[in-house]
Each structure stands twice: as structure tokens, then as C-alpha cells.
Amino acid sequence: MLAIGFIQRIKEVTWLSPIVVVLKKNAKLRFFLDFRKFNKATKIDPYPLPFFDELLNIVARCEVYSFFDGYSRYH
């Protein structure tokens, strides 16, 4: 994927979530991901998509509905 340009190397990893290893009471290791840096770097979507069941409830009340081709970016 790197060769075809689908992914790229990161020069500065300020958002990377570190792995935290914790020793449990039974002497087994447990791995956790600390997502606090990642959550700080994530942009909040001002227009989040509604849940699917909410969409179905809205559409069920309508007599006629249609949808446009999202690939062509019709609004």
C-alpha cells in the first residue's frame, strides 16, 4: 500500500495512541490503547450522520422519498 501511495509514512506522530501494558492480579498482562492523544487530534464533525434507525423512522412517515447519487455529490 505504501508503494502505490494508498498510505504514507508519518514524520511526526503527535496523535499516535500509545500502548499501555498493565499487570493484572492473576499475573497476566493486559494491553490497553490510550486514545487521549488521538481524540485530541480528531476533528469534530459539525454535521454527524444520524443513526440508521432514526433515518428509517423519518422515511417511514413520508409518502414519497428519493435519494441522489452520492458519488456525483448532488445535494
- Integer angstrom CA distances of residue 37 from 12, 24, 30, 41: 13, 25, 20, 6
For the chain, the structural domain boundaries read 19-72
pLDDT tens, residue order, the chain (75 aa): 889 988 888 777 777 777 888 899 999 999 888 888 888 888 888 888 888 888 788 878 878 777 665 556 555
From CA 19, how far away is CA 37, in angstroms rounded? 12
pLDDT for residue 67: 67
Residue 11: per-residue pLDDT: 77
Task: Note the pLDDT of residue 68.
Answer: 62
Residues paired with 23 in a beta bridge: 29
Residue with cell 492523544: 37
Helix (H) or strand (E) holding 57: helix 52-60
pLDDT score at 26 = 93
